[in-house]
Amino acid sequence: MAVSGVVKWFDPVKGFGFVVADTGGPDILLHVNVLRNFGQSSVADGARVEVLAHRTERGVQATEVRAIQPPQNTQTAVLPDILGRDREEVEAAPLVPARVKWFDKSKGFGFANVFGKPQDVFLHIEVLRQSGLSDLQPGEALAMRVIEGKRGKMAAEVQAWETVLTEREDDRD
Torsion sign across C-alpha atoms 43, 47, 51, 57: positive
Q: What superfamily in CATH does domain 2-69 come from?
A: Nucleic acid-binding proteins (2.40.50.140)
pLDDT at 40: 84
DSSP state of 25: S
pLDDT at 131: 78
What are φ and ψ of residue 130, in 5° steps?
Answer: -65, -20
pLDDT at 44: 85
The answer on pLDDT for 76 being more than 50 is no
Q: How many CA atoms lie within 13 A of 163 on its CB side?
A: 23
What are φ and ψ of residue 36, in 5° steps?
Answer: -60, -35
DSSP reduced 3-state for 114: strand
Segment 77-92, tens digit of pLDDT:
456 666 566 677 778 8
CA torsion angle for 153, 110, 84, 42 (degrees, to 10)?
Answer: 120
Name the average pLDDT for the chain.
84
Percent helix, strand, coil in the chain, to 5, is 20, 45, 35
pLDDT at 75: 44
Segment 89-140, tens digit of pLDDT:
778 889 999 999 999 887 889 999 999 888 899 998 888 877 778 888 899 8
- 46: phi > 0 → left, psi -120 to 50 → alpha, else beta; which? left
With CA atoms as reference, report the closest residue to 41 among 127, 163, 137, 166.
137
pLDDT at 134: 80
pLDDT at 86: 67
> 31-68: buried (b, 16+ CB within 10 Å) or exposed (e) per residue?
ebebbbebbbbbbbebbbbbbebeeeeeebbbeebeeb
Q: Is 128 exposed, middle or buried (0-12, 13-18, 19+ CB in 10 A)?
A: buried
pLDDT at 46: 86
Neighbouring-strand partners of residue 11: 16
Quickly name the fold that domain 80-172 has. Answer: OB fold (Dihydrolipoamide Acetyltransferase, E2P) (2.40.50)
- For the chain, residues classed under CATH 2.40.50.140 are 2-69, 80-172
Q: What CA–CA distances, in Å, run from 17 to 11, 85, 110, 113, 166? A: 6, 35, 23, 29, 24
Segment 19-49, tens digit of pLDDT:
999 999 899 999 999 998 988 888 888 889 9
Q: What is the pTM of this model?
A: 0.60
How far is C-alpha 89 from the chain's CA centre? 21
